[in-house]
Amino acid sequence: MQDTKTTLTNTSEFEKEVSQGLTNNPKHLSSMYFYDKKGDKLFQDIMAMPTYYLTDSEYEILESNKEEISNLFTGFGSFDLIELGAGDGKKTKILLKEFSDKKIDFTYVPIDISDNALNQLQNSIEKELPEVQVQPFQGTYFEALKEINNRENRKIILFLGSNIGNLEHEQAVVFMNKIQKLMQPEDLLFMGFDQKKNPQTILDAYNDKEGVTAAFNKNVLARINTELNANFDLEQFLHWEVYDPETGTAKSYLVSKIEQTVQIENLDLTVHFKQWETIHTEISQKYDDEIITWLAKESGLKMTTSYESTAYGYKNCVFKKA
């Protein structure tokens, strides 16, 4: 889990991924399905928790550097500010207000997998920053790439909250390379990277004592119950987080406490779980400077500047086409 996420796919895609994920060995489900109205609220609660340092890290960076970032973005005139995984837009509003106060000519294009989150974001911007033009788009990251390609204005692409960490390195290279191919020489990619740090700090961020992250992780099972007529007993699954400081990989699992069988009526599917069998639900990758440089090089990008939160070990990096 990173600090913002992306938008609601149709039911047939949900059915397909649930069927494949729960019949594979080992079992897995995509973290994109954490998000519905309840999941959105749970994630907002997580972002407000003191142990979840990612939100404060990026908020600090944007607040401290908003004038410099504004000058960087506006060097070539008007632009589209395209945000992948916009979420509630709390941090992005720092930039939106700065641009609005300076009468900068831009259009904000928030993209998210949650229709509910987009509606809330659009309503809040219309109320708080009525001068800002907003054109929301609902879709996954890869659907978002098509939307980016269809826009003719100069593009500033935001990918905040270390959302890139939801992808393994090779997947991240493919994704960043696809963005690079849609960029013109004057376009910019502004991306957040959570840095490697004390392993306990990372574990505390993804496994809070209050159990909010556990409820968020289990929400994928709750969605399957509601939308696909299943009978998962959420109390019989344990939220478990692991972190490998060597690779910088944090992983989230749901672990079956007992041997059990689950029926998913809409899929005509019976799923058997052995005691302590896992469902892998999410990866949250952490980085060092060497890995960020490698990702950029492999993707055909060049880092032009970066901003760092030294208190939390977090970076926002700016890339252009190499």
| 309 three-class SS | strand
- Name the least confident of 21-30, 48-57, 220-229: 48-57
Q: What is the pLDDT of residues 255-265, one digit of tens each?
A: 999 999 999 99
Residues of the chain with CATH 3.40.50.150: 53-198+287-321
pLDDT over threshold 60, residue 3: no
| 203 three-class SS | helix
Predicted confidence at residue 11, as pLDDT, reads 55
* High-pLDDT (> 70) share of the chain, %: 97
| 122 three-class SS | helix
Cis peptide before 110 (omega within 30 of 0): no
Predicted confidence at residue 52, as pLDDT, reads 93
Q: What is the pLDDT of residues 97-126, one digit of tens each?
A: 999 999 999 999 999 888 888 999 999 999
| Contact between 27 and 134 (Cβ < 8 Å) | no
Average pLDDT score over residue span 126-139: 93
| Contact between 216 and 34 (Cβ < 8 Å) | yes
> Domain 53-198+287-321: which topology?
Rossmann fold (3.40.50)
DSSP-derived pairing of the beta strands 137-138 and 301-309:
unpaired
Average pLDDT score over residue span 222-242: 97
